[in-house]
Structure 1
Amino acid sequence: MAMNILIVDDDQLARQRMRQMLMRCGTGLCGVVEEAADTGRATGLMRHRRFDLLLLDVQMPGQDGLELASSLRYWTPKPAVVFVTGHSQHALQAFEADAVDYLTKPVRPERLERALHKAASLCRTPDMPIEEVEESLRVVNRGRAQRLPLSEVLFLRAQDKRLLAVTSRGSFMLDGSLVELEKRQPGHWLRVHRHTLAARHAVQSLHRSATENEEVSGWHLSLRGTAERLQVARRMLGDVRSQLGLRPN
């Protein structure tokens, strides 16, 4: 089957070389091939297209490739990951993050093709459709239903058996559950509490403050577009820090 592949590397020449190697690989292995210079851009692309395989560098500015790979366990469906890096010392961490393979630069064509065959054996079946991620939520505003662009939503909160979608211009009610939205929009939301999802694109920083509440970690997320800070549950703090790659302030 032809796989949709995303090359994630901060080195433009490395991305170009990898694309050329993919074009020379056996027919039927490569479908759409796109590129990202960092993990933030990669995450944005993955929200709009289903990729079967990530060819992922390790060391990049901001969140590194290992952190991105670890965060993919929350995605459904989860793309396969093959690390392509000049650093051999990260192999153990890579396989702990469920990597399919680990290639060191310079990559030999036959070694790349072997990794592609490994990834293809784990990917979706050929008849599984590629679906676009929903770009809006159906909300109620002053008694009337309307579509709210997903890009405007800063966070969602479960409230009185319904959901509250908070934006910089106000709040809107909608039906559904947080779990359902996590599945419908994989990678878009970050679970910070049992009743709260933060939009990843809105996250600005992670802060600590004193607390005596055993369920609350004492950490809060600051979001762009709102003065409200979101409490991070103690049991979710590790996942939040891992997924965002943020250094706490």
Structure 2
Amino acid sequence: MKLKALIVDDEYPARQELRYALSSFDCIEIVGEATNAQEALTLIKALDYQILFLDISMPGMNGLDLGAAIQELPRQPQVIFVTAYDEYAVRAFEVNAVDYLLKPVDQARLKKAVDKVLRKFRELQAAEMVAAEETAVGAAREADVPLRIDRIPAEKYGKTVLVAEGDIVYAFTEQDYVYIKTYADKLFTRFTLKELEARLNPNIFFRTHRCYIVNLHKVKEIVPFFNGTYNLVVDDQENSEVPVSRAQAKKLRRILGF
């Protein structure tokens, strides 16, 4: 798998340094550079880039603004922020960044970030294959009524258990794995968070953050955090807190009417 990459940085030495660091990756093909976010947005609209190495501090539109803008595009490259500033990490992940690297970039750390992008594309390809197969089966069996049960397979003590939707407090990702949290248990599931979102009842479950889905029936308190974000205190044994990104906070306020 070879990914088309775009480097966006207003400093020429920084672009050259990153280009050199990426030259050791056979999976990366650097097909463009941009000196500012507006120029980058034009290139992204014209060419199907799979990965974007993006600085934050640039004249005019900054990298975070560009990250938000590409969320509205039909084709969205995976974004890895490469910056000298550590204080924007939370905001970076609110625009679905895959990773956040600090300059000067460590080669081993860069490899981890690239590996994350590769995993995402493999998952996407696998999901597309499954979707294509399901479409083909659905066309062949158009008259059949699909069976849907409100149970999610998960693993507990080496066994597969079926967790009722009503028992799920929230689902989340942790170190590239996905878990389901019930009142007392944390259970591993082989579904991606996107797959869980598709399976769970959308009238009950809400994607609060790129890493969390919460059962709104299990929310006890809504605690303002910062920059328009919230933490949701949920009804499990630990009274866990589930973060709500700023983008999703607007949707949540509309849903709950506050």
**TM (normalized to structure 2)?**
0.46
Name the structure with the higher strand share: 1
